[in-house]
Chain A
Amino acid sequence: MSAPTLAKEKATQLPGRRESRAVDRWAGLVEGWLKGHTILVYLFLYLPIVIVVLFAFNDTNRRVTAWDGFSFKWFEVAFNDSVVHRALANSFLVAVPNAILATLFGTMAALGLQRVGKKTRLAFDALTYTSIIVPEIVIALSTLVLFATGFDVVETLFGVKINFGHPTIIAAHVLFNTSLVLLLVRARLSGMDRTLVEASSDLFATPWRTFRQITFPMLLPAIVAGFLLAFTFSFDDYVITTFVSGPGSSTLPLFIFGQVKRGVTPETNAVATMILLFTIGTLLIGQLLLRWQSRQTGKGEGMASMIAER
């Protein structure tokens, strides 16, 4: 949005700039270094991803990095691996309910927080930020201890044995993701044009109708983006999942970690490549939605600004 004005500024200042540039003989060097540094950082960021994808197509039966030519065979192996099938199914069985619950809870809470006093809001905020700040490993282990202790109590009291499995993973994932959705939707709410809501009630719309026809459509991009982020978080999570999963509920990240511990194979890379494709696709959809939203409100840079303002 500020690009044209900036360009104009540059154009008008050009003569002055050129003068100072002549004096400053380091200018070219500094500019070159900045550019080179940026290129190197992007190479650093993408090199590992490219390597994983590349070595998924390696036609080798020996070491994973010894290149033997191009082939799709490891994708075939991955496609026919029943362990991968089960892990994939588990990942969806965890990620989808988690995303639905977190989106629902987070959106509801964001709307509810508009209606409460400062004290309640601060208390809620404290919990929201705590759930994001406390290291994942601490959340994972303390949740494990809580579940294990709680299940023991239930077993001695009622004789019912509860096992770790999908519900425990989902319950633990929903915590972080609710906070994530809450922050996203609230950011959108605070950037919303209140006059539309007021106009709606001035025109005798009921609160529910105002919500349905004004508030909800305006929040929708943030809600969908929240859903997608919650989904990818859950789909990619290793730390929390590994500690609160039970026998038979291993997700794809747990499968990959197991493979990594035994030694990466081209099959690992093939599975990883498919996960990368899938999550990057999901994220791009989320990004497009947010960009569409920020174009409407004229602020923010999509997910980047969300993370920056977190």
Chain B
Amino acid sequence: MASATPIPAAEPARPGRFRNALLTTILLFPAGLWYVLLLVAPLAIVVIFSFGTRARNGGYEPGFVWDNYARAIDKADPFITSLVMASAGAIACLLVGLPLAYYLATRAGRHKGLLILLLVIPFWTSFLIRTYSWLIVLGPDSGLAGWVSAITGDQEFRVLGTPVAVLIGLVYGYLPLMVFPVYVTLERMDRTLIEASKDLGANRWATFRQVTLPIALPGLVTGTILVFIPMMGEYVIPQILGYGRTYLMGNALVTDFLEARNWPSGSARAVGLILIMFVTITLYLWFVNRGRKTREVSML
């Protein structure tokens, strides 16, 4: 800085550097502003509100109490229901998604591109419409419940409004998120490993268990996380297919905020839900990084 020689070179570069910094700031400003105003600010306000008390007419009154968290833990039913439903949904996605991903990666041949596209399209298409259509498919008129009633004679048989309907909706809505990562890992798999395993006398099941499954594991974990997280926060599916009877976290949040107008209580629940997400993600990242390290070691 004090030396004489670099100054002539540094001097003309300075306005350029300033312009560069300015351009970078301009490029990042709108997205950054949006993140601050519509992501950080809302989440921060929820954290602040979670320590407050309910105003008499509903809403928020400043304060610093832990009551809302105590109540959220005390009335943890929606949380537990969400946990059970999301776990069941993730397992169901796993059971349905793994064979499908395996087929797509190893057996689909030249139809692969088309089949993947057919998997993507519903995923990006009108979640609400695809959910409500199950009202017809499972319904008592000419849907599943109607068929079962006709066959067994049990006129009271219903699927809609039960946890089973919600589970079907969850699996239907999020299955592609399980299939894609598993498909990607299986697709990248070195196929000669299977040949080697067979040459060494392993049967089909042993090859699957000892070669394919360990290779697919990172994809399976990614898929499980990707389906588990949105299922934990799902609101529309239990509302439509569960008639609001399967009471998940999303429904509890809406009740807290809009019906009971107890913003602090809802905020505490929301903070709890966000914390669970971050713990899950952290564990996941830990798992992925651990996996990477061992893979490097094994390659050495």
Contact = CB atoms under 8 A, between A and B. Distances in A.
A3 B42 contact: no
Given A38-B103, A308-B180, A138 B133 contact: no
Interface string B169-204: 000100111001101100000010001001000011
A131 B191 CA distance: 38
B215 interface: no
Interface in A120-167: 124, 127-128, 130-131, 133-139, 141-146, 149
A301 B31 contact: no
A47 interface: yes
Interface stretch (A79-87, A106-114, A197-205, A213-221): A106-114
B300 interface: no
B66 interface: no
A66 to B, nearest CB: 7
Interface string B118-142: 1111111111111011111101011
B91 interface: no
B172 A304 contact: no
Interface stretch (B5-13, B71-79, B266-274): B266-274
A141 B128 contact: no
B247 interface: no
A117 to B, nearest CB: 10
A283 B125 contact: yes
B143 A137 contact: no
A143 B129 contact: no
B128 A41 contact: no
Q: Which of B130, B132, B226 has the most C-beta atoms of chain A within 10 angstroms of its own C-beta?
A: B132
Interface string A160-186: 000000000001101100100010000
B6 to A, nearest CB: 22
Given A49-B130, A280-B125, A66 B20 contact: no
A77 interface: no
B135 A145 contact: no
Interface string B50-61: 000000000010
Contact of B135 (A229, A264, A305): A264
Given A24-B203, A135-B277, A304-B116, A112 B39 contact: no
B201 to A, nearest CB: 10
Nearest to A136: B233
A65 B143 contact: yes
A14 interface: no
A48 B253 contact: no
B217 to A, nearest CB: 16
B128 A236 contact: yes
Given A111-B27, A115-B24, A137-B253, A257 B128 contact: yes
Contacts of A135: 229-230, 232-234, 250, 273, 277
Nearest to B222: A308
Q: Which of B116, B129, B177, B235 has the most C-beta atoms of chain A within 10 angstroms of its own C-beta?
A: B129
B184 A305 contact: yes
B49 A145 contact: yes
Contacts of A134: 39, 43, 274, 277
Interface string B252-267: 0110010000010011
Given A232-B124, A307-B176, A35 B135 contact: no
Interface string A252-292: 01001100100010001000100110011001100100010
B151 interface: no
A190 interface: no
Contacts of B125: 49, 232, 236, 276, 279-280, 283
Nearest 10 CB-CB pairings of A with B: A135-B233, A112-B27, A48-B133, A308-B180, A142-B42, A109-B31, A112-B28, A65-B141, A105-B30, A127-B35
Interface of B: 20, 23-28, 30-32, 34-35, 38-43, 45-46, 49, 60, 96, 99-100, 102-104, 107, 109-110, 113, 115-130, 132-137, 139, 141-143, 172, 175-177, 180-181, 183-184, 191, 195, 198, 203-204, 226, 229-230, 232-236, 240, 249-250, 253-254, 257, 263, 266-267, 270, 273-274, 277, 281
Given A172-B38, A239-B236, A264-B136, 18 more contacts: A3-B109, A42-B118, A48-B130, A133-B277, A136-B235, A141-B270, A145-B49, A257-B236, A257-B240, A260-B132, A264-B132, A276-B126, A276-B129, A287-B117, A302-B116, A304-B180, A304-B183, A308-B184
19 contacts: A31-B107, A35-B107, A37-B100, A48-B136, A48-B172, A49-B130, A52-B129, A108-B26, A109-B31, A124-B28, A124-B32, A133-B277, A137-B254, A142-B270, A143-B42, A239-B236, A280-B121, A283-B120, A305-B184
